[in-house]
Homo-oligomer: A and B are copies of this chain.
Amino acid sequence: MHLRMTNQREIILRELKKSRQHLTADELYDRVKKDMPRISLATVYRNLEILSGAGLIGKLEISGRQKRFDYDVTEHDHIYCTVCHKVNNLDIERQGLHAKEVKAVKGYRVTGYRLEVIGVCPACQKRKEKKEKKK
Contacts and interface: CB of A to CB of B under 8 A. Distances in A.
Interface of A: 61, 63-64, 79, 81-82, 88, 90-92, 95-97, 101-102, 105-122, 125
Contacts of A120: 108-109, 111
Contacts of A88: 106, 108
Contacts of A91: 105-106
A18 to B, nearest CB: 21
A125 B110 CA distance: 11
A113 B108 contact: no
A58 B79 CA distance: 20
A22 to B, nearest CB: 14
A105 B79 contact: yes
